[in-house]
Amino acid sequence: MMSACIARAQHCLDALPERWRGAIEMKYLQEKEAAAIQQELGLSEANYWQQVHRAKLRLRACIEERINPAKRQRMK
């Protein structure tokens, strides 16, 4: 069960735009500080937080859809 959840999450992470994925991986998987990520990606503070926010929204939607595809059908 856990490996299926990890596979779903990895699929959704891989589907993110490259820069969003990089910011999320550095923040949550590599546990880097925001300032270091901003510098490495060449982002302003506002743009960094905007990318993280948008990436989290897209990850959530993707994971929810993969866990419960019927929910998406009902919403259409």
Whether the predicted pLDDT of 73 surpasses 60: no
| Rounded alpha-carbon distances, angstroms, from residue 46 to 34, 55, 61 | 11, 14, 23
CA angle 46, 17, 39 (to 5 degrees): 40
Cα–Cα nearest to 48, from 56, 13, 15: 56
Q: Which H helix or E strand runs over 66?
A: helix 45-67
pLDDT per position as a tens digit, 17-59: 999 999 999 999 999 999 999 999 999 999 999 999 999 999 9
Residue ranges per domain, the chain?
Answer: 17-70
Q: In whole angstroms, how large is the CA radius of gyration of the chain?
A: 14
Q: What is the pLDDT of residue 67?
A: 82
Q: The whole model's pTM is what?
A: 0.81
